[in-house]
Structure 1
């Protein structure tokens, strides 16, 4: 229905036992996010809400509407005791796949209500691959300087691991426990001209849709890159070499770079004057 309407994934309660599960699906839905929390102390999980929304109430929304991956079609992820529900969406500088174990939760036509079916509560396994994302449907791809081929950086939300994948890679094996999920963010790896540095920004990893926090990216010359990111928190990128300097605005940032993994990270503050957007610069 996304071709005709703006999809709405309905509301949820942030203090619910499955709130994180529901929040993750809405974070990559491409639609608005609603909460139906009760009023009163203890009725809101603010730490969870901060993973969904910025301080100004906006959200790092995907630029498309979420769709099931091809291998999720014609499956029954509620009751077949074997299928993972996988959905994908796009950000301006990458894509995201959400994997959800929905087994055992569904509508009862006899009782006319949603209920749990304990006989279906079990771990299920599957694979994640960069080709699960229909990259040719990305509305930002046409005319973009980002090349959606070659190597992709993959970020696993639950474990905070990074790895690389391309179209010829084997699928990533995953297993999800009942009522659990994981998010996989994909970012094309950019190579800086003369320096040969390989770089891929993940954005603020304290947000469910971390790559959605990246607003703009520009390679300047052969040894520097500029990124606009919205929000506050832990910025992470992959960099094949340690930068000479990193800046947040006009202030030099104290960064951490792991030689073994290439993880580059530092703290980004909320800048009220610019609507929460910070200009990050990297010199190699």
Structure 2
């Protein structure tokens, strides 16, 4: 389509390039190959253009499969449903679907167990394409300011038929079989850049969109993910900050969005001493507080974070607010109301 050499040399008036074939709503075999193709095409195109992963139908049976991929792609997000039929879960104040806040850069496939890294590192990206020969789940990663995002997709089943001259499902029934892979924090290759601590130890808090649960992955540990064909899971990966022994925290973001962490635009940690009992905004700090976590969050809905202990207090702006805390997972959740799109919520947790 737009990948011939003549076209690549003529991109002088736009920064956007199509990275895929069309979205075919009536071709069930096309959806998995679409996601695999745009992910691998973005390895090349994403270095000098903004890859466009094409439109999709939100009312389609594969709508979430496609929509989640667009959310982590780093490219434009747009649907082509019939008027008034778009089924995007939550509308933000700027009209963009609440589940579809874009990541910072062009998404890349993870290494699938092979040594693949961004340009500028010593390892060769040719290993990316070797992963195409491995029967496994496709992992796609991208970065936000303070978190990473990892999409896991089962793209197995369809393949090109030379006899029928089109993509068809394998006759082996592979589309009914679930595949399992291991997910690590390092699958988001640039995740150290999201850590606010230069001595970060590699531990991450991981929020799974498909299950709505939070797990802690210690450095090097693996989380198993099992998916059938046309199933996906989006994981927000957040470096854990240790403020003091036993006091650990990591922001997740707006947990009802595919790319939760994109909502977090500011993050600072403050370790308190005995003399500092008044906050920066003039509010009183609870006696015995160890540290403060200050965040700026854009958007509305349920904001989630990992905390190893129940926070002693949470303030939104300058007013204390209620929050829910799941001690088994360490998940703390605060409800955020809509604000004007140019403004951000200021949230402070006391630990």
- Give the TM-score normalised by the residue count of structure 2: 0.70
Is 1:123 aligned with 2:178? yes
Cα shift at 1:107: 5.0
SS at match of 2:268: strand
2:155 aligned with 1:102, yes or no?
A: yes
Choose from 311, 317, 325 the match for 1:243. 311
CA contact (8 A) 1:106 1:115 kept: yes
State whether residues 214 and 330 of structure 2, in contact with CA within 8 Å, keep that contact through their aligned partners in structure 1: no
After superposition, residues 179-194 of structure 1 pair within 5 angstroms as 179-192=230-243
Q: In the alignment, is the contact (CA less than 8 A) between 2:111 and 2:131 conserved in 1?
A: no
> Structure 2 vs 1, CA of residues 83 and 259 (structure 1 numbering), >3 Å: closer, same or farther?
closer
| CA–CA distance in structure 2, aligned partners of residues 136 and 168 of structure 1 | 13
1:165 has 2:207 as partner: no
Q: CA, structure 1 residues 106+248, in 2 after alignment: closer, same or farther (shift >3 Å)?
A: farther
- How many residue pairs were aligned? 269
CA distance in 2, matches of 1:9, 1:165: 31
Q: Over residues 64-109 of structure 1, what are the superposed CA-to-partner deviations in whole Å (9 max), with x where a residue is unaligned? A: 21111112732348xx7x3211111111112111110111235555
CA separation of 1:11 and 1:94: change in aligned 2, threshold 3 A: same
Q: Is this contact kept in 1: 2:254–2:302, CA < 8 A?
A: yes
2:203 equivalent in structure 1: 151
CA distance in 2, matches of 1:241, 1:179: 37
Residue in 1 that maps onto 2:141: 88
Q: Give the ranges of 4+ consecutive aligned residues of structure 1 lying more than 3 Å apart after TM superposition.
A: 105-120, 144-149
Is residue 265 from structure 1 mapped to residue 318 from structure 2 by the alignment? no
Give the strand-richer structure, 1 or 2: 1
Q: 1:234 aligns with which of 285, 302, 307?
A: 302
Structure whose alpha-carbon radius of gyration is higher: 2
The structural deviation recorded for 1:187 is: 0.5
C-alpha contact (below 8 Å) 2:217/2:223 kept by paired residues: no
- SS of residue paired to 1:191: strand
Displacement of 1:148? 5.1
Aligned match of 2:77 in 33, 40, 43? 33
Residues in 2 aligned to 1:283 and 1:136: alpha-carbon distance in whole angstroms: 25
Take 2:49 and 2:159, find their aligned partners in 1: how far apart are those partners?
A: 25
The DSSP-based 3-state class of the residue aligned with 1:14 is coil
Q: Which of 75, 92, 110 is the matching residue for 1:69?
A: 110
5+ unaligned residues in a row in structure 2: which ranges? Answer: 1-44, 114-127, 273-290
Aligned equivalents of 1:181 and 1:136: distance in 2?
21
For 2:292 and 2:257, the matched residues in 1 are separated by 26
Q: Is the 8 Å Cα contact of residues 203 and 239 (structure 2) preserved in structure 1?
A: yes
Residues in 2 aligned to 1:91 and 1:210: alpha-carbon distance in whole angstroms: 9
String of CA shifts for 1:193-247, please: whole Å, max 9, x gaps.
Answer: 5x86211110110100001111111123432121011111111111122222111
Structure 1 residues 116 and 37: CA distance shift in structure 2, 3 A: farther
Q: Give the TM-score of the pair, scaled to structure 1.
A: 0.85
Q: What's the CA shift for 1:10?
A: 0.7
Query: Offset at 1:168?
Result: 2.7
